[in-house]
Structure 1
Amino acid sequence: MQDFFDITVNLARILGAVAFVIGIIRFKRLTKAEKWYVFYLFVVFCIEYISYALDWFSKDGNNTFLYPFYIAGEFFTITGVFIKKLNLNRSYFILTGVISLFFLSADQFLSSDLYKNDYSKGISNLVIISLAGYTLLQEIKKGIAKDRFSAVDKMIFLYFTVSIFIFIFQHQLMEFPIAYFTAFWSVNNILCCLFYSLFIKTFLTLKK
């Protein structure tokens, strides 16, 4: 099971990098809202490969300090997608920026006994799910022509919904044999692979 977990982790990293590179190549074909998908992939790409480099070169391999950066960057860029798609006022970017800074620095002013990054991740996911769901409902309600990234938005809704449950139960799973923990996280890795694959497919099918 550990081997399968390692394979899915590395595959997700590779697919994420490929999606980011193709997104950069197709960047000029994207609308202002769609460009935020590439910004999201950029954040993930940087965090993943900085983490990988630390694992490779650092003796202790401690990369937990990157987690708040991942949560904040992920939150700001994905909410940016839906703020643009919903044509919301620019002041919403200020709001999501402030919330992102909170995710980034919450452990600096909250007791470590009370604060868990998982709470930030849970709140972040709930907001993202709400925005994604509302955007999809608006498309159906208004009869808007199919959005080019509609499939990606649906996957965002699914992926972040499942992620909430994974982060809720991960601490309980640590009390079980490691095989249970790795199997649980392998589900997340497989969803990541599907998520990035959908990005790749969408970017490749874009027309000028």
Structure 2
Amino acid sequence: MEVIINALSNVIFILLSVASVIYFIGFAKHSKAYKIFTIYLLTMFIIEWLLRVIVLFDWNDSTLFLFVYYFVFQFIILSLFYQKLLNFRWIYYVLVAGLLFFVVQYSNDPEMYFRYNPIGVVVGQGVIVIYSLLYFYKLLSEKGEFVIVNSGIFFYLLTSMLIFASGNLVFNIKISTETIVLLGKIIRVLYLIFLILIMIEWYRNYRDPKKVSS
């Protein structure tokens, strides 16, 4: 089982690396939404790379503190991504409110920095899922970009959010090591599917240099 998990992690790292590079190549030629999504990929790559370095050199007993940066940066960047796709100004206000919520959380309980934050994940990912649904609705009446990526974001974040929201996970601040490992395995599989959809999006809509978004 350990071999499978390591292989899965390596595949994810390779796909994320490739996706970051190929999207970055078209950075200057495409829309603002494309640029923001590219920044999202690069940010996730940096966090994934730091995780692997810390584990390789055994610099810390736990890498859970990186989880904070993962879901907070994800919330920030994908909020800006959907602001460009939906063109709703109120998304900026929701973004500020969400960040204030995270600040209050970690200010009241600094030790949360070194453990999972299920409530923060549900709140942050729940907001992005709502944006994704709104974009689906918008696509019913007009064409748009990142249709495949939007489907991937909805599937990945909704499923991940439901995992954290299931049972008593949201209110259980002392999640067992076994549960953390199991959650990690499931979420990694979902993330792999998300990355595959990101690659499909690029292949179908952005690999041709003549297809330049407005």
TM more than 0.5: yes
Residue 161 in 1 paired to residue 149 in 2?
no
Alignment of 1:189-208 (within 5 A): 189-205=188-204, 206=206, 207-208=211-212
**Separation in structure 2 between the aligned mates of residue 111 and residue 77 of structure 1, nearest angstrom:** 24
Q: Which runs of 5+ in 2 are unaligned?
A: none
Q: Which residue of 2 aligns with 1:134?
A: 134
Percentage identity across paired residues of the two chains: 22
**Separation in structure 2 between the aligned mates of residue 161 and residue 45 of structure 1, nearest angstrom:** 21
**Separation in structure 2 between the aligned mates of residue 129 and residue 20 of structure 1, nearest angstrom:** 23
Alpha carbon RMSD of aligned pairs, Å? 2.8
**Separation in structure 1 between the aligned mates of residue 193 and residue 145 of structure 2, nearest angstrom:** 17
1:33 aligned counterpart, secondary structure: helix
Sort the Cα spacing of 1:175 and 1:46 in 2 relative to 1 into closer, same or farther, 3 A: closer
Sort the Cα spacing of 1:116 and 1:12 in 2 relative to 1 into closer, same or farther, 3 A: closer
**Separation in structure 1 between the aligned mates of residue 27 and residue 80 of structure 2, nearest angstrom:** 16
**Separation in structure 1 between the aligned mates of residue 188 and residue 69 of structure 2, nearest angstrom:** 19
CA contact (8 A) 1:5 1:183 kept: no
CA contact (8 A) 1:19 1:197 kept: no
What's the CA shift string for 1:52-72, capped at 9, x where partnerless? 111111344422222211111
**Separation in structure 2 between the aligned mates of residue 168 and residue 11 of structure 1, nearest angstrom:** 28
1:34 aligned counterpart, secondary structure: helix
The CA deviation at 1:182 is 5.0
Q: Which amino acid aligns with 1:151?
A: I
Q: Which runs of 5+ in 1 are unaligned?
A: none
CA contact (8 A) 1:129 1:160 kept: yes
Bigger mean CA offset, 104-113 vs 127-136: 104-113
Q: Relative contact order, CA 8 A, sep 6+: which one is greater?
A: 1
**Separation in structure 1 between the aligned mates of residue 130 and residue 28 of structure 2, nearest angstrom:** 29
Aligned residues: 200
The CA deviation at 1:96 is 0.9
- TM-score when normalising by structure 2: 0.80
The CA deviation at 1:186 is 2.9
**Separation in structure 2 between the aligned mates of residue 111 and residue 51 of structure 1, nearest angstrom:** 21
